[in-house]
Amino acid sequence: MLYIGVDIGGMSVKAGLVDEKGKILLKDTVVTRASAPAEEIVADIAALVRSVAERGGAELSSLGGIGVGSPGSVDDAEGVIRYSCNINFVKTPFVRLLSDMLGVKNVRISNDANCAALGETMFGAGRGARNSVTVTLGTGVGTGIVADGRLLTGNRSAGAEGGHVIIKAGGEVCGCGKRGCFEAYASATALMRQTARAAERHPDSLLARLAKEQGIDGKTAFIAAKQGDKVAKRVVSTYIRYVGTGLVGFANVFYPEVFIIGGGISKEGDALILPLRRFVRRNAYGAEFNPPIDVVAATLGNDAGVIGAAALVMER
């Protein structure tokens, strides 16, 4: 059985023809006309889906279904995108529109972070797990929760916003306007802020020199730490403690088999993953009596959204 997964982004829409093993057989993209009327955006996506199916030798009527991941607030059950801040979707009946345009009945939609979590759990780093939490450390912090093989999204799909769980009351201001959110401490943006502050306080450190010569990004502190800089080591250690604190909170509520860490910071590999694994196993409630929780880096990269969207319409 073949499926089509669609990953909607602010700049482009990706669609892939995916088999039941999660392998992308053919993929294509189209520019997102983000400010166009919603129906025109959906029509562009419908045309992309037709093209991918045709070039892949698949009849639309023979597909197992079409799954879609979209940024923003999505009501999965109703198939409606309530709001997407960077794309002109407001109370858009996306599933009905796409289904009517293509004549395909099995069309489903979810938030893009949820789709990535489902893709990683079924076909990526969490393969074989029935319970997982995916945490994406990027500009913000995205989370996706899989419980007993199915996405857990809360009342009308408004939940699973783990980036905005409070880990420090009255703490740093988050992009959402609240204080102390996980995202305000664990995102790549937060790490860059922590790095800049440390470099300013310690102008003679290697960290400060790298920041001045190369600028600051999510890798700066890790690079300096690997070269033995004590200031950078403290930054990395503190950052890992922040991330680990959030993971332990999720562990105590969901107790997943695995945490899957995605986003640019996950590319630091063992320097990030191993201490996080130790932190979670040491601090999760009942950890000494319960099965160990694994912490792994995501493996599907930019394809996670397409594969996960296709997984929405697969039988599990």
pLDDT value at residue 276? 98
Quick one: three-class SS letters along 105-120?
A: CCEEEEEHHHHHHHHH
List of the chain residues with pLDDT < 70? 316
Region of 174 (left: φ > 0; alpha: ψ -120 to 50; beta: rest) is: beta
pLDDT value at residue 191? 98
pLDDT value at residue 175? 87
DSSP 42-82: HHHHHHHHHHHHHHTT--GGGSS-EEEEESSEEETTTTEEE
Both tokens assigned to 14: 């990706």
Give tens-digit pLDDT for 19-40.
999 999 999 999 999 999 999 9
Contact 182, 167 (CB under 8 A): yes
pLDDT value at residue 316? 65
pLDDT value at residue 158? 87
The dihedral sign for the CA sequence 51, 56, 60, 63: negative
128-298 in CATH: which number? 3.30.420.40
Q: Measure the CA–CA gap between 75 and 91, rounded to whole angstroms.
A: 9
Number of H helices, E strands in the chain: 10, 13
Point out which residues pair with 26 in neighbouring strands: 17
Q: Does the fold of domain 128-298 match that of domain 2-119+303-311? A: yes
Q: Measure the CA–CA gap between 61 and 166, rounded to whole angstroms.
A: 46
Q: Which of 3.30.420.40, 3.30.930.10, 3.20.10.10, 3.90.1150.10 would CATH assign to domain 2-119+303-311?
A: 3.30.420.40
Domain residue limits, the chain? 2-119+303-311, 128-298
pLDDT value at residue 10? 87
